[in-house]
């Protein structure tokens, strides 16, 4: 491994030692270190680079993880006698998250190591700063925004690409809470996307200053906000069924993530 690779591995191990239950800031720093670093993936079958190579697997709280270690020293300490391969954090994230697999760092270590669920691998693969830090607390918005919803509904009705709209109040583990609007579109052609972007731009003028508003695509099968919206909300605008009031949904801590006791710690 190059000197830069060794330094990156050292940063992963340094941040790993900082992670304790409830320290989501330390866990977020670990994700950033992983994005720039690499891991030693343990191969259950085959050799590195061979067509039959297969990662090991483990299940925790119903979620799948591929075990790995964070350095050559940890590989030796693990007692692993089969093959392994060194993969960058971003590459392993891109490989595993579409099949909803996470990674488990140093499962041989005292305390059992640290698990990175697939939702966080997705954040590494697509950009940590582009998505909210989980686990997320999601609920029906309690704040009253009648002018915004009325204007958004009017603009949606004038935007043929929009099938329906949903809403959720999102509280990330780190960062400010915000209002998420779920966009269900008939198609995602560039022209349709531009028309929806214009719709949102025209509508947010009715949002009070300081209230963040974001959007999620209802077609995104990997987004935790989208998953929650599908399971817990009804559209507040529906072109085909008129307006249907959304039911009051109870807060769902950590939706799409393992329970707090096992999430990463």
* 3-class DSSP assignment, residue 208: coil
Nearest to 133 by CA among 76, 191, 172, 104: 172
pLDDT band at 258 (very low <50, low <70, confident <90, very high): confident
Nearest to 68 by CA among 53, 52, 85: 85
For 206-233, write each residue's pLDDT tens digit.
999 999 999 999 999 999 999 999 999 9
Which pLDDT score is estimated for 255?
A: 65
Residues whose CB falls within 8 Å of the CB of residue 148, separated by 6 or more in sequence, listed in order: 203, 204, 206, 207
User: Residue 206 is encoded by which pair of tokens?
Assistant: 């009715």
Please give the mean pLDDT across all residues of the chain: 90
Q: What is the pTM of this model?
A: 0.86
For 6-45, write each residue's pLDDT tens digit.
556 689 999 999 999 889 999 999 999 999 999 999 999 9
Which pLDDT score is estimated for 257?
A: 77
User: Residue 142 is encoded by which pair of tokens?
Assistant: 């309690």
Residue with tokens 């680079």: 49
Distance CA 68, CA 13 (A): 13
Q: Is the pLDDT of residue 246 over 60?
A: no
Strands (E), the chain: 38-45, 54-55, 58-60, 63-69, 84-88, 101-105, 114-116, 137-139, 162-171, 178-185, 213-217, 237-238, 252-253
* 3-class DSSP assignment, residue 204: helix
Burial of 182 (0-12, 13-18, 19+ CB in 10 A): buried
For 116-168, write each residue's pLDDT tens digit.
999 999 999 999 999 999 999 999 999 999 999 999 999 999 999 999 999 99
pLDDT band at 241 (very low <50, low <70, confident <90, very high): confident
Q: Is the pLDDT of residue 252 over 60?
A: no
Q: Is the pLDDT of residue 69 over 90?
A: yes
Residue 33 · residue 11 · CB < 8 Å: yes
All structural domains of the chain = 3-130 (no CATH), 137-253 (3.30.300)
Distance CA 178, CA 208 (A): 12
Which pLDDT score is estimated for 49?
A: 86
Distances (CA, A) of 234 to 180, 184, 247: 14, 12, 7
User: Residue 87 is encoded by which pair of tokens?
Assistant: 């993969």
Distance CA 265, CA 258 (A): 11
Mean pLDDT lowest among 7-16, 48-57, 180-189: 7-16
Taking residues 105-109, what's their average pLDDT?
Answer: 96
Q: How many residues belong to the chain?
A: 265
pLDDT band at 97 (very low <50, low <70, confident <90, very high): very high
């Amino acid at each position: 491994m190059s000197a830069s690779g060794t330094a990156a591995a050292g940063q992963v191990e340094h941040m790993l030692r900082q992670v304790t239950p409830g320290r989501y800031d330390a866990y977020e720093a670990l994700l950033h270190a992983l994005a720039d670093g690499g891991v030693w993936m343990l191969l259950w079958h085959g050799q590195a680079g061979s067509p039959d190579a297969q990662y090991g697997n483990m299940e925790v709280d119903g979620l799948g993880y591929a075990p790995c270690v964070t350095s050559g020293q940890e590989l030796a300490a693990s007692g692993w006698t089969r093959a392994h391969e060194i993969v960058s954090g971003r590459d392993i994230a891109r490989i595993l998250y579409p099949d909803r697999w996470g990674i488990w760092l140093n499962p041989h270590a005292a305390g059992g190591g640290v698990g990175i669920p697939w939702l966080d691998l997705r954040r590494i693969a697509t950009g940590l700063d582009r998505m909210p830090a989980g686990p997320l607390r999601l609920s029906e918005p309690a704040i009253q925004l009648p002018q915004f919803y009325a204007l958004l509904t009017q603009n949606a009705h004038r935007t043929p690409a929009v099938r329906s709209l949903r809403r959720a109040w999102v509280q990330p583990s780190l960062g400010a809470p915000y209002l998420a609007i779920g966009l269900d579109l008939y198609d995602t052609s560039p022209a349709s996307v531009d028309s929806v972007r214009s719709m949102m731009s025209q509508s947010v003028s009715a949002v009070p200053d300081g209230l963040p508003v974001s959007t999620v695509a209802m077609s995104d099968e990997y987004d935790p906000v989208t998953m929650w919206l599908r399971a817990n909300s009804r559209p507040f605008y529906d072109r085909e069924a008129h307006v249907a009031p959304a039911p009051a949904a109870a807060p769902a801590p950590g939706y799409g993530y393992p329970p707090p006791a096992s999430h990463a710690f």
